[in-house]
Amino acid sequence: MSRTELKTVLSPDELPRNYYNILHDLPEPLPPPLDPGTLKPMSPEPLLRLFARECVMQEVSTQEFIPIPEEVREAYLRLGRPTPLYRARRLEEKLQTPAKIFFKREDLNPAGSHKPNTAIPQAYYHRKEGTARLTTETGAGQWGTALALASALFDIDLTVYMTRSSYEQKPYRRTLMEVYGAEVFASPSRRTKAGSKFLDKDPSHPGSLGIAISEAIEDCVTHDDTKYSLGSVLNHVLTHQSVVGQEAKVQMQQFDADPDYIVGCIGGGSNFAGLSYPFMRDKLRGKSGAQFVAAEPKAVPSTTKGSYRYDFADTGETTPLLKMFTVGHAYQCPPIHAGGLRYHGKAPSMCMLIDKGYMRSVAYSQNEVMEAGLTFAQTEGIVAAPESNHAVKATIDLALECKRKGEAKTILFNLSGHGLLDLKAYEDKLGGRLVDYEPDQAALSASMSAVPRVG
Protein backbone atom coordinates (compact mmCIF):
# COMPACT_ATOMS: atom_id res chain seq x y z
CA MET A 1 0.00 0.00 0.00
CA SER A 2 1.41 3.38 -0.90
CA ARG A 3 1.22 6.04 1.70
CA THR A 4 -0.96 8.33 -0.36
CA GLU A 5 -3.71 5.71 -0.16
CA LEU A 6 -4.16 6.56 3.52
CA LYS A 7 -5.04 10.25 3.48
CA THR A 8 -5.00 13.38 1.40
CA VAL A 9 -3.92 16.75 2.69
CA LEU A 10 -4.77 19.92 0.80
CA SER A 11 -2.37 22.85 0.70
CA PRO A 12 -3.44 26.18 2.21
CA ASP A 13 -4.16 27.64 -1.24
CA GLU A 14 -6.67 24.85 -1.90
CA LEU A 15 -8.98 26.21 0.79
CA PRO A 16 -12.33 27.03 -0.92
CA ARG A 17 -12.85 30.64 -2.01
CA ASN A 18 -16.67 30.54 -2.01
CA TYR A 19 -19.46 29.09 0.05
CA TYR A 20 -21.96 26.94 -1.84
CA ASN A 21 -25.62 27.82 -1.25
CA ILE A 22 -27.99 24.93 -1.94
CA LEU A 23 -31.00 27.25 -2.17
CA HIS A 24 -29.83 27.86 -5.74
CA ASP A 25 -30.38 24.21 -6.63
CA LEU A 26 -33.32 22.97 -4.53
CA PRO A 27 -36.02 21.26 -6.60
CA GLU A 28 -38.48 23.97 -5.56
CA PRO A 29 -38.30 27.15 -3.46
CA LEU A 30 -37.98 26.57 0.27
CA PRO A 31 -41.32 27.13 2.08
CA PRO A 32 -40.93 30.53 3.76
CA PRO A 33 -40.80 31.04 7.54
CA LEU A 34 -44.24 32.01 8.85
CA ASP A 35 -45.27 34.53 11.46
CA PRO A 36 -46.76 32.35 14.23
CA GLY A 37 -49.50 34.93 14.88
CA THR A 38 -50.71 35.61 11.33
CA LEU A 39 -49.38 32.41 9.70
CA LYS A 40 -48.21 34.65 6.86
CA PRO A 41 -44.68 34.58 5.39
CA MET A 42 -42.27 36.73 7.36
CA SER A 43 -39.95 39.29 5.86
CA PRO A 44 -36.32 39.06 6.92
CA GLU A 45 -36.24 42.59 8.43
CA PRO A 46 -36.92 41.57 12.07
CA LEU A 47 -33.92 39.23 11.87
CA LEU A 48 -31.62 42.26 11.41
CA ARG A 49 -32.03 43.15 15.09
CA LEU A 50 -30.53 39.74 15.98
CA PHE A 51 -28.18 38.58 13.27
CA ALA A 52 -25.38 40.15 11.25
CA ARG A 53 -26.80 41.87 8.16
CA GLU A 54 -24.62 39.75 5.89
CA CYS A 55 -25.99 36.57 7.49
CA VAL A 56 -29.59 37.75 7.00
CA MET A 57 -28.84 38.49 3.35
CA GLN A 58 -27.32 35.01 2.96
CA GLU A 59 -30.31 33.48 4.72
CA VAL A 60 -32.67 34.50 1.92
CA SER A 61 -30.19 34.46 -0.95
CA THR A 62 -30.48 32.00 -3.83
CA GLN A 63 -27.08 33.01 -5.21
CA GLU A 64 -25.12 29.83 -5.90
CA PHE A 65 -21.72 30.94 -4.62
CA ILE A 66 -20.97 33.48 -1.89
CA PRO A 67 -17.36 34.69 -1.64
CA ILE A 68 -15.51 33.81 1.57
CA PRO A 69 -13.86 36.97 2.94
CA GLU A 70 -10.06 36.86 3.08
CA GLU A 71 -10.07 37.43 6.87
CA VAL A 72 -12.34 34.41 7.28
CA ARG A 73 -10.11 32.27 5.08
CA GLU A 74 -7.13 33.30 7.20
CA ALA A 75 -8.93 32.28 10.39
CA TYR A 76 -9.90 28.97 8.78
CA LEU A 77 -6.22 28.36 8.00
CA ARG A 78 -5.27 29.20 11.56
CA LEU A 79 -7.80 26.66 12.85
CA GLY A 80 -6.64 23.81 10.65
CA ARG A 81 -8.48 24.14 7.35
CA PRO A 82 -8.24 22.59 4.84
CA THR A 83 -8.81 19.45 6.91
CA PRO A 84 -7.44 16.06 5.84
CA LEU A 85 -9.58 13.29 4.38
CA TYR A 86 -8.69 9.75 5.48
CA ARG A 87 -9.30 6.26 4.23
CA ALA A 88 -10.35 3.92 7.07
CA ARG A 89 -8.23 0.96 5.96
CA ARG A 90 -8.03 -0.70 9.37
CA LEU A 91 -11.80 -0.42 9.84
CA GLU A 92 -12.33 -1.96 6.39
CA GLU A 93 -10.00 -4.83 7.34
CA LYS A 94 -11.74 -5.33 10.68
CA LEU A 95 -15.13 -5.53 8.94
CA GLN A 96 -13.70 -7.64 6.10
CA THR A 97 -15.76 -5.56 3.73
CA PRO A 98 -15.07 -4.99 0.04
CA ALA A 99 -16.34 -1.41 0.58
CA LYS A 100 -13.91 1.50 0.66
CA ILE A 101 -14.51 3.79 3.62
CA PHE A 102 -13.39 7.43 3.71
CA PHE A 103 -13.93 10.09 6.34
CA LYS A 104 -13.51 13.84 6.56
CA ARG A 105 -11.69 15.12 9.66
CA GLU A 106 -13.74 17.95 11.17
CA ASP A 107 -12.41 17.06 14.65
CA LEU A 108 -8.96 18.60 14.24
CA ASN A 109 -9.54 22.25 15.16
CA PRO A 110 -9.14 23.63 18.71
CA ALA A 111 -12.91 23.63 19.33
CA GLY A 112 -13.03 19.96 18.31
CA SER A 113 -16.02 20.01 15.95
CA HIS A 114 -17.35 21.42 12.68
CA LYS A 115 -18.94 24.37 14.50
CA PRO A 116 -16.10 26.89 13.89
CA ASN A 117 -16.88 26.69 10.14
CA THR A 118 -19.86 28.98 10.80
CA ALA A 119 -18.75 30.59 14.08
CA ILE A 120 -15.79 32.16 12.28
CA PRO A 121 -17.74 33.93 9.49
CA GLN A 122 -20.54 34.91 11.86
CA ALA A 123 -18.06 36.53 14.26
CA TYR A 124 -16.26 38.16 11.35
CA TYR A 125 -19.43 39.67 9.84
CA HIS A 126 -20.50 40.94 13.25
CA ARG A 127 -17.09 42.50 13.84
CA LYS A 128 -17.15 44.12 10.41
CA GLU A 129 -20.62 45.52 11.07
CA GLY A 130 -19.52 46.98 14.41
CA THR A 131 -21.01 44.50 16.88
CA ALA A 132 -19.19 44.83 20.22
CA ARG A 133 -20.92 41.98 22.01
CA LEU A 134 -22.67 38.73 21.13
CA THR A 135 -25.00 36.43 23.00
CA THR A 136 -25.77 32.81 22.31
CA GLU A 137 -27.04 29.64 23.94
CA THR A 138 -25.36 26.27 24.21
CA GLY A 139 -26.48 22.85 25.35
CA ALA A 140 -23.69 20.30 25.28
CA GLY A 141 -21.21 23.11 24.70
CA GLN A 142 -19.82 22.50 21.21
CA TRP A 143 -21.42 25.59 19.71
CA GLY A 144 -20.61 27.78 22.70
CA THR A 145 -16.98 26.67 22.50
CA ALA A 146 -16.75 27.40 18.79
CA LEU A 147 -18.31 30.85 19.11
CA ALA A 148 -16.08 31.64 22.12
CA LEU A 149 -13.04 30.73 20.04
CA ALA A 150 -14.26 32.78 17.05
CA SER A 151 -15.11 35.74 19.31
CA ALA A 152 -11.59 35.63 20.76
CA LEU A 153 -10.08 35.71 17.27
CA PHE A 154 -12.22 38.70 16.23
CA ASP A 155 -12.10 40.50 19.59
CA ILE A 156 -15.83 40.45 20.36
CA ASP A 157 -17.27 40.03 23.85
CA LEU A 158 -19.45 36.95 24.22
CA THR A 159 -22.08 35.91 26.75
CA VAL A 160 -23.19 32.28 26.66
CA TYR A 161 -26.32 30.90 28.29
CA MET A 162 -25.55 27.26 28.99
CA THR A 163 -28.26 24.78 29.95
CA ARG A 164 -27.90 24.42 33.72
CA SER A 165 -27.73 20.62 33.60
CA SER A 166 -24.78 20.80 31.19
CA TYR A 167 -23.23 23.69 33.14
CA GLU A 168 -23.10 21.47 36.19
CA GLN A 169 -22.33 18.12 34.51
CA LYS A 170 -19.76 19.45 32.02
CA PRO A 171 -17.76 22.03 33.97
CA TYR A 172 -14.79 21.69 31.61
CA ARG A 173 -16.83 22.74 28.59
CA ARG A 174 -17.63 25.87 30.57
CA THR A 175 -13.96 26.30 31.49
CA LEU A 176 -12.99 25.98 27.83
CA MET A 177 -15.34 28.82 26.88
CA GLU A 178 -13.98 30.91 29.75
CA VAL A 179 -10.40 30.24 28.64
CA TYR A 180 -11.36 31.89 25.34
CA GLY A 181 -12.66 34.86 27.32
CA ALA A 182 -16.40 34.21 27.16
CA GLU A 183 -18.79 34.92 30.04
CA VAL A 184 -20.87 31.80 30.77
CA PHE A 185 -24.08 31.64 32.81
CA ALA A 186 -26.15 28.66 33.84
CA SER A 187 -29.61 28.91 32.28
CA PRO A 188 -32.19 29.63 33.55
CA SER A 189 -30.48 32.62 35.16
CA ARG A 190 -31.59 35.72 37.07
CA ARG A 191 -30.10 37.92 34.33
CA THR A 192 -33.27 37.83 32.22
CA LYS A 193 -37.00 38.00 32.79
CA ALA A 194 -37.39 34.73 30.88
CA GLY A 195 -34.89 32.99 33.13
CA SER A 196 -36.32 34.47 36.32
CA LYS A 197 -39.77 33.23 35.39
CA PHE A 198 -38.53 29.65 35.31
CA LEU A 199 -36.42 30.05 38.46
CA ASP A 200 -39.42 31.46 40.33
CA LYS A 201 -41.29 28.25 39.56
CA ASP A 202 -38.33 25.97 40.28
CA PRO A 203 -35.14 27.38 41.87
CA SER A 204 -33.19 24.31 40.74
CA HIS A 205 -34.62 24.22 37.21
CA PRO A 206 -32.27 22.11 35.00
CA GLY A 207 -32.89 24.36 31.99
CA SER A 208 -33.36 23.51 28.33
CA LEU A 209 -31.98 24.71 25.03
CA GLY A 210 -35.30 26.44 24.42
CA ILE A 211 -35.02 28.47 27.64
CA ALA A 212 -31.38 29.29 26.93
CA ILE A 213 -32.37 30.61 23.48
CA SER A 214 -35.02 32.79 25.08
CA GLU A 215 -32.48 34.22 27.53
CA ALA A 216 -29.81 34.84 24.88
CA ILE A 217 -32.35 36.63 22.67
CA GLU A 218 -33.72 38.71 25.56
CA ASP A 219 -30.17 39.70 26.57
CA CYS A 220 -29.53 40.68 22.95
CA VAL A 221 -32.63 42.78 22.35
CA THR A 222 -32.32 44.59 25.70
CA HIS A 223 -28.74 45.73 25.04
CA ASP A 224 -28.10 48.20 22.22
CA ASP A 225 -24.57 47.07 21.37
CA THR A 226 -25.42 43.38 21.39
CA LYS A 227 -26.32 40.88 18.68
CA TYR A 228 -26.98 37.17 18.55
CA SER A 229 -25.59 34.13 16.79
CA LEU A 230 -27.02 30.68 16.04
CA GLY A 231 -25.07 27.50 15.29
CA SER A 232 -27.29 25.29 13.11
CA VAL A 233 -30.61 24.87 11.26
CA LEU A 234 -30.59 28.20 9.38
CA ASN A 235 -29.69 28.46 5.70
CA HIS A 236 -26.67 30.72 6.17
CA VAL A 237 -25.21 28.35 8.76
CA LEU A 238 -25.49 25.39 6.38
CA THR A 239 -24.01 27.49 3.59
CA HIS A 240 -20.92 28.24 5.73
CA GLN A 241 -20.47 24.53 6.40
CA SER A 242 -20.17 23.87 2.65
CA VAL A 243 -16.39 24.30 2.93
CA VAL A 244 -16.38 20.72 4.27
CA GLY A 245 -17.93 19.10 1.22
CA GLN A 246 -16.10 21.31 -1.27
CA GLU A 247 -12.77 20.17 0.15
CA ALA A 248 -13.99 16.57 0.29
CA LYS A 249 -14.94 16.61 -3.41
CA VAL A 250 -11.39 17.60 -4.38
CA GLN A 251 -9.93 15.05 -1.98
CA MET A 252 -12.09 12.17 -3.22
CA GLN A 253 -10.88 12.98 -6.74
CA GLN A 254 -7.31 12.80 -5.43
CA PHE A 255 -8.16 9.31 -4.16
CA ASP A 256 -9.61 8.64 -7.62
CA ALA A 257 -12.81 7.65 -5.82
CA ASP A 258 -16.44 8.68 -6.22
CA PRO A 259 -18.69 8.14 -3.20
CA ASP A 260 -21.70 5.86 -3.62
CA TYR A 261 -22.85 6.70 -0.10
CA ILE A 262 -22.44 9.99 1.73
CA VAL A 263 -23.15 9.69 5.45
CA GLY A 264 -23.47 12.02 8.42
CA CYS A 265 -25.22 12.51 11.74
CA ILE A 266 -27.98 15.11 12.08
CA GLY A 267 -28.93 17.27 15.06
CA GLY A 268 -29.87 20.55 13.42
CA GLY A 269 -28.35 19.23 10.20
CA SER A 270 -25.41 21.55 9.60
CA ASN A 271 -22.46 19.14 9.68
CA PHE A 272 -24.10 16.72 7.27
CA ALA A 273 -25.27 19.54 5.02
CA GLY A 274 -21.68 20.79 5.05
CA LEU A 275 -20.30 17.51 3.78
CA SER A 276 -23.18 16.49 1.54
CA TYR A 277 -24.57 19.58 -0.22
CA PRO A 278 -21.64 20.07 -2.62
CA PHE A 279 -22.22 16.43 -3.68
CA MET A 280 -26.02 16.88 -3.62
CA ARG A 281 -25.57 19.72 -6.12
CA ASP A 282 -24.54 17.09 -8.68
CA LYS A 283 -27.44 14.83 -7.78
CA LEU A 284 -29.96 17.67 -8.09
CA ARG A 285 -28.55 18.32 -11.56
CA GLY A 286 -28.91 14.66 -12.54
CA LYS A 287 -25.14 14.14 -12.60
CA SER A 288 -24.77 11.76 -9.66
CA GLY A 289 -26.45 8.61 -8.41
CA ALA A 290 -24.91 8.85 -4.94
CA GLN A 291 -27.11 7.99 -1.97
CA PHE A 292 -27.28 10.29 1.04
CA VAL A 293 -27.79 8.75 4.49
CA ALA A 294 -28.53 10.89 7.56
CA ALA A 295 -28.22 9.22 10.98
CA GLU A 296 -30.20 10.43 13.99
CA PRO A 297 -30.74 9.05 17.50
CA LYS A 298 -33.75 6.83 18.16
CA ALA A 299 -34.24 9.03 21.22
CA VAL A 300 -34.96 12.06 19.02
CA PRO A 301 -36.37 10.57 15.80
CA SER A 302 -37.31 13.80 13.97
CA THR A 303 -36.98 12.48 10.42
CA THR A 304 -37.70 8.80 11.07
CA LYS A 305 -40.82 9.14 13.23
CA GLY A 306 -41.69 12.84 13.07
CA SER A 307 -43.82 14.78 10.57
CA TYR A 308 -42.89 17.26 7.83
CA ARG A 309 -44.82 20.36 8.82
CA TYR A 310 -44.53 23.88 10.19
CA ASP A 311 -43.30 24.11 13.80
CA PHE A 312 -41.55 26.51 16.12
CA ALA A 313 -37.75 26.35 16.00
CA ASP A 314 -37.56 26.70 19.80
CA THR A 315 -39.30 25.28 22.82
CA GLY A 316 -40.36 28.69 24.09
CA GLU A 317 -42.45 29.48 20.97
CA THR A 318 -40.64 32.76 20.29
CA THR A 319 -39.34 32.05 16.78
CA PRO A 320 -40.97 32.06 13.35
CA LEU A 321 -42.50 28.75 12.18
CA LEU A 322 -40.25 26.67 9.94
CA LYS A 323 -41.34 23.85 7.59
CA MET A 324 -39.34 20.86 8.77
CA PHE A 325 -39.41 17.32 10.07
CA THR A 326 -40.24 17.61 13.76
CA VAL A 327 -41.21 15.52 16.75
CA GLY A 328 -42.81 18.67 18.14
CA HIS A 329 -41.16 21.65 19.82
CA ALA A 330 -42.60 20.46 23.16
CA TYR A 331 -40.84 17.07 22.83
CA GLN A 332 -38.72 16.29 25.89
CA CYS A 333 -35.38 15.19 24.40
CA PRO A 334 -34.03 12.32 26.55
CA PRO A 335 -30.59 12.82 28.19
CA ILE A 336 -28.50 10.96 25.59
CA HIS A 337 -24.75 11.64 25.50
CA ALA A 338 -24.99 12.95 21.93
CA GLY A 339 -26.15 16.32 23.23
CA GLY A 340 -25.71 17.93 19.83
CA LEU A 341 -28.46 15.72 18.40
CA ARG A 342 -31.05 16.68 21.01
CA TYR A 343 -33.14 18.95 18.78
CA HIS A 344 -36.77 18.41 17.91
CA GLY A 345 -36.55 19.63 14.31
CA LYS A 346 -34.03 19.67 11.48
CA ALA A 347 -32.80 22.21 8.92
CA PRO A 348 -35.60 23.12 6.45
CA SER A 349 -33.52 22.58 3.30
CA MET A 350 -32.45 19.12 4.47
CA CYS A 351 -36.02 18.25 5.41
CA MET A 352 -37.21 19.12 1.93
CA LEU A 353 -34.52 16.86 0.44
CA ILE A 354 -35.55 14.02 2.74
CA ASP A 355 -39.23 14.59 1.99
CA LYS A 356 -38.59 14.49 -1.75
CA GLY A 357 -36.47 11.34 -1.51
CA TYR A 358 -33.06 12.85 -2.32
CA MET A 359 -31.80 11.84 1.11
CA ARG A 360 -32.83 9.09 3.50
CA SER A 361 -32.41 8.71 7.22
CA VAL A 362 -31.77 5.99 9.78
CA ALA A 363 -31.99 5.97 13.58
CA TYR A 364 -29.83 4.24 16.20
CA SER A 365 -29.79 3.66 19.94
CA GLN A 366 -26.87 5.10 21.92
CA ASN A 367 -25.56 1.65 22.83
CA GLU A 368 -25.31 0.85 19.12
CA VAL A 369 -23.49 4.07 18.28
CA MET A 370 -21.05 3.88 21.19
CA GLU A 371 -20.23 0.28 20.27
CA ALA A 372 -19.43 1.55 16.78
CA GLY A 373 -17.31 4.27 18.39
CA LEU A 374 -15.23 1.68 20.25
CA THR A 375 -14.64 -0.24 17.03
CA PHE A 376 -13.61 2.96 15.28
CA ALA A 377 -11.23 4.01 18.08
CA GLN A 378 -9.54 0.62 18.19
CA THR A 379 -9.10 0.41 14.42
CA GLU A 380 -8.51 3.98 13.27
CA GLY A 381 -7.16 5.28 16.58
CA ILE A 382 -9.57 8.21 16.82
CA VAL A 383 -12.05 8.75 19.65
CA ALA A 384 -15.09 10.29 17.96
CA ALA A 385 -17.84 12.38 19.53
CA PRO A 386 -21.02 10.48 20.45
CA GLU A 387 -22.79 12.54 17.77
CA SER A 388 -20.27 11.50 15.11
CA ASN A 389 -20.56 7.87 16.16
CA HIS A 390 -24.04 7.88 14.62
CA ALA A 391 -22.31 8.41 11.27
CA VAL A 392 -19.74 5.73 12.13
CA LYS A 393 -22.54 3.25 12.93
CA ALA A 394 -24.42 4.01 9.70
CA THR A 395 -21.15 3.59 7.79
CA ILE A 396 -20.41 0.24 9.42
CA ASP A 397 -23.94 -0.96 8.58
CA LEU A 398 -23.52 0.05 4.93
CA ALA A 399 -20.07 -1.62 4.79
CA LEU A 400 -21.48 -4.84 6.21
CA GLU A 401 -24.31 -4.70 3.67
CA CYS A 402 -21.64 -4.40 0.97
CA LYS A 403 -19.95 -7.46 2.46
CA ARG A 404 -23.18 -9.48 2.32
CA LYS A 405 -23.84 -8.39 -1.26
CA GLY A 406 -20.21 -8.57 -2.34
CA GLU A 407 -20.31 -4.96 -3.54
CA ALA A 408 -17.18 -2.80 -3.51
CA LYS A 409 -18.98 0.46 -2.90
CA THR A 410 -17.38 3.70 -1.75
CA ILE A 411 -18.62 5.27 1.48
CA LEU A 412 -17.75 8.76 2.72
CA PHE A 413 -18.75 10.00 6.15
CA ASN A 414 -18.22 13.16 8.17
CA LEU A 415 -16.24 12.79 11.39
CA SER A 416 -17.87 15.92 12.79
CA GLY A 417 -16.03 16.05 16.12
CA HIS A 418 -13.80 14.32 18.65
CA GLY A 419 -14.97 12.79 21.91
CA LEU A 420 -12.26 13.96 24.32
CA LEU A 421 -14.77 16.01 26.27
CA ASP A 422 -17.35 13.21 26.07
CA LEU A 423 -15.38 10.39 27.68
CA LYS A 424 -18.20 9.90 30.19
CA ALA A 425 -20.19 8.38 27.33
CA TYR A 426 -17.39 5.88 26.68
CA GLU A 427 -16.99 5.20 30.40
CA ASP A 428 -20.71 4.43 30.67
CA LYS A 429 -20.55 2.21 27.58
CA LEU A 430 -17.53 0.27 28.87
CA GLY A 431 -19.21 -0.07 32.26
CA GLY A 432 -22.48 -1.35 30.76
CA ARG A 433 -24.34 1.63 32.19
CA LEU A 434 -25.61 3.20 28.98
CA VAL A 435 -29.41 3.57 28.85
CA ASP A 436 -31.32 3.51 25.56
CA TYR A 437 -34.35 5.72 25.03
CA GLU A 438 -37.05 5.53 22.41
CA PRO A 439 -40.34 7.42 22.57
CA ASP A 440 -43.52 5.39 22.23
CA GLN A 441 -46.41 6.51 20.02
CA ALA A 442 -48.22 8.11 22.95
CA ALA A 443 -45.23 10.33 23.79
CA LEU A 444 -44.86 11.39 20.17
CA SER A 445 -48.58 12.09 19.81
CA ALA A 446 -48.50 14.20 22.94
CA SER A 447 -45.57 16.35 21.78
CA MET A 448 -47.02 16.65 18.26
CA SER A 449 -50.29 17.92 19.65
CA ALA A 450 -48.58 21.22 20.54
CA VAL A 451 -47.44 21.80 16.95
CA PRO A 452 -49.42 24.63 15.33
CA ARG A 453 -51.93 23.65 12.65
CA VAL A 454 -51.00 25.45 9.45
CA GLY A 455 -52.89 25.46 6.16
Residues making contact with a second copy (CB under 8 A): 1, 3-4, 6-7, 9, 11-13, 15, 73-74, 77-80, 84, 86, 90, 108, 110, 112, 149, 152-153, 171-172, 175-176, 178-181, 374, 377-383, 418, 420-421, 423-424, 426-427, 430
H/E stretch holding 323: strand 321-326
Q: From CA 321, how far away is CA 38, in angstroms rounded? A: 11
Handedness of CA 42, 45, 46, 50 (dihedral sign): positive
Q: From CA 147, how far away is CA 169, in angstroms rounded? A: 20
Q: From CA 141, how far away is CA 172, in angstroms rounded? A: 10
| Closer by beta carbon to a second copy, 186 or else 382 | 382
Angle at 362 between CA 357 and CA 367, to 5 degrees: 175
**Beta carbon of residue 21, minimum distance to a second copy (angstroms, whole number):** 24
| Closer by beta carbon to a second copy, 151 or else 304 | 151
Contact 6, 86 (CB under 8 A): yes
| Closer by beta carbon to a second copy, 76 or else 310 | 76
- Nearest C-alpha neighbor of 437 from the set 345, 351, 331, 287: 331
Total count of residues recorded for the chain: 455
**Beta carbon of residue 116, minimum distance to a second copy (angstroms, whole number):** 9
- Nearest C-alpha neighbor of 212 from the set 315, 335, 334: 315
| Closer by beta carbon to a second copy, 178 or else 407 | 178
**Beta carbon of residue 3, minimum distance to a second copy (angstroms, whole number):** 5
Query: Largest alpha-carbon pair distance within the chain?
Result: 65
Q: Could you give the 3-state DSSP secondary structure of residue 412?
A: strand
**Beta carbon of residue 86, minimum distance to a second copy (angstroms, whole number):** 8
Q: Could you give the 3-state DSSP secondary structure of residue 328?
A: coil
Terminal-residue alpha carbon distance, the chain: 59
| Closer by beta carbon to a second copy, 146 or else 213 | 146
| Closer by beta carbon to a second copy, 167 or else 426 | 426
Contact 258, 354 (CB under 8 A): no
**Beta carbon of residue 202, minimum distance to a second copy (angstroms, whole number):** 27
**Beta carbon of residue 112, minimum distance to a second copy (angstroms, whole number):** 7
**Beta carbon of residue 5, minimum distance to a second copy (angstroms, whole number):** 10
| Closer by beta carbon to a second copy, 33 or else 339 | 339
